[in-house]
A and B are shown apart, each in its own frame.
Chain A
Amino acid sequence: AQSVSQHNHHVILSEAASLELGCNYSYGGTVNLFWYVQYPGQHLQLLLKYFSGDPLVKGIKGFEAEFIKSKFSFNLRKPSVQWSDTAEYFCAVRTSGNTGKLIFGQGTTLQVKP
C-alpha cells in the first residue's frame, strides 16, 4: 500500500532563511507527486506537481521540489522564505498504476518569524 511520510512536523524559520521540507513515499510503481499548501483557516491549494520529465519542478511563489526516484523522495525547497509563507504544507502521492488513490503525508507546519 502507498504511504507518505513527512519528516518535520513543525518548522520555525526567520524571514529570508532557506527552507527544505522532507517527503518520502512508499510505493514501487510509477507515481505522481504533489505539494499542497494550506494557509490558516483555508483549504488546500496546489503548490507544484511532478508527473514526469525534469525531476526538478518549479511551482508558485518561488517554491521548487526535486524528485529523487532512488530515494523515493520529493523534498520541497524555497531559497528565502517570507512571513506570508506561514502555513501547513502537505506532500501527496498519487499512483498511476492503480485506481487513482491520492494519499497525503501528515503535514508540516511552517512558522516564519518576521
Chain B
Amino acid sequence: DAGVIQSPRHEVTEMGQEVTLRCKPISGHDYLFWYRQTMMRGLELLIYFNNNVPIDDSGMPEDRFSAKMPNASFSTLKIQPSEPRDSAVYFCASSLERVTEAFFGQGTRLTVV
C-alpha cells in the first residue's frame, strides 16, 4: 500500500482565497483524522471520521473550516476564506479500527500571505 496520500504537499495562497486540502487514506482503514501542526499549538486534532461519518469536529477552529468524506477513499479539508493565521502543516492520518495506531500522510504545508 502507498500509505496515506495527501495533496498538495505545499500550498501558498493569498488571504481570502479558498483552500482545499486532500487526503486518501490507506485502503480498508475506517478512521480518518485531520490534524494541524504549528509551533505554538503543537499537533491539534481538528476532526475525525469513522466509516465516512464525522464523529467529533470540536477541534475545528471556526466556521471557515469544513471537512468532508464523501467515500471511504477520499477526504477534503476546506478553508474559506483563508487567513494568515491558518498557516500551518496539515496532516491526515488513518487507522483500522478504534484502538489501533494511526498512519500519517506527509502533510500539506499551507502558507497564507
Contact = CB atoms under 8 A, between A and B. Distances in A.
Interface of A: 32, 34, 36, 42-46, 49, 51, 90, 94, 96, 99-107
Contact of A100 (B91, B99, B107): B99
B45 A43 contact: no
Q: Binding site of B, secondary structure by majority: helix, strand, loop or mixed?
A: strand
B95 to A, nearest CB: 7
B55 A100 contact: yes
Interface of B: 31, 33, 35, 42-43, 45, 48, 50, 55-56, 91, 93, 95, 97-107
B45 to A, nearest CB: 6
12 contacts: A32-B99, A43-B105, A45-B104, A51-B99, A96-B99, A99-B56, A100-B31, A100-B48, A100-B99, A102-B33, A105-B42, A106-B43
B50 A104 contact: no
Nearest to A9: B42
B110 to A, nearest CB: 15
B98 A43 contact: no
A90 B43 contact: yes
Contacts of A43: 91, 104-107
